[in-house]
Amino acid sequence: MAVENRLWGQKRIQAELAKLGFKVSARTVAKYMRTARHDRGPSVRWRTFLKLHASNIWACDFFCVQTLLFDTLHVFFVIQHINREVLHVAVTRHPTAEWLAQQILESCAWDRRPPRFMIHDRDSRYGPSFDRRLKRLGIKQVRTPFRCPVANAVAERWVKSARTECLDHLFVFNELTLRRAISSYVAYYNHHRPHRSIGQRAPCASGRAADGPPGMRRSVVAEPVLGGLHHIYRHAS
């Protein structure tokens, strides 16, 4: 009972045992609770929180891109936990708290309900303007611990995908080049790239593609994405 019901204390477990006909003292229950919780391994509290509230969690983060002229560009993005959809992406040379606050507002489109929680790190760029905007939207900030990227694993995983599947293979000349490349990749990522964490579906896919009748031969056509870096495969009409 102690392992399966993390919120139950010794009195609550004592009462539950009494319902089953076992009369034990609260002190005895406390002794076995310590043993049970000591043997269960590392805490899964953070993982449980993410699982229970996935539909109400967004995450945001930055990553930097160097141009051929050694300019540093900053990419800011917002990703949804429940289906890994990238909701918003923006590029700037000088990220400020005011600029970030505007990006959060743009993420909440007219037909998109703001989340309950926003996960992000403790970067100093998330200033008072950013805090006020989230508060007005009814979003609670969840700041990750220092030097703990695993606490924002969904966002960090997308950064890796964006680099290894797109940016590491392109020459970025300026801000316009980066904005076009990252926008094309986000469209491919959201609508066509399969994800193991959601059953090999794309984030914005409505469901599995309908298969043809058994034994039916159908041609497959490929549509290049990002200059042929990736391809989208469809059945020929």
Q: Per-domain residue ranges for the chain?
A: 10-41, 49-198
d(CA 234, CA 204): 16
Those residues whose C-beta lies under 8 Å from the C-beta of residue 223, and which sit 6 or more positions away, are 231, 232, 233, 234
Q: For the domain 49-198, what is the CATH code?
A: 3.30.420.10
Q: What SS3 state is found at 220?
A: strand
Cβ(126)–Cβ(120) below 8 Å? yes
pLDDT at site 130: 93
Name the nearest CA neighbour of 98 among 120, 128, 73. Answer: 128
Residue segments in the chain with a per-residue pLDDT below the cut of 70: 35-44, 206-216
pLDDT at site 42: 47
CA 12 to chain centre: 35
pLDDT at site 39: 47
pLDDT at site 237: 73
pTM beyond cutoff 0.85: no
d(CA 4, CA 233): 45
E strand intervals along the chain: 57-66, 72-80, 86-92, 117-120, 140-143, 220-225, 230-235
pLDDT tens-digit profile of 78-124? 999 999 999 999 999 999 999 999 999 999 877 788 999 999 999 98
Tokens of 82: 């429940």
Those residues whose C-beta lies under 8 Å from the C-beta of residue 122, and which sit 6 or more positions away, are 143, 144, 146
Q: What is the DSSP letter of 134?
A: H
pLDDT at site 93: 94
Cβ(51)–Cβ(67) below 8 Å? no
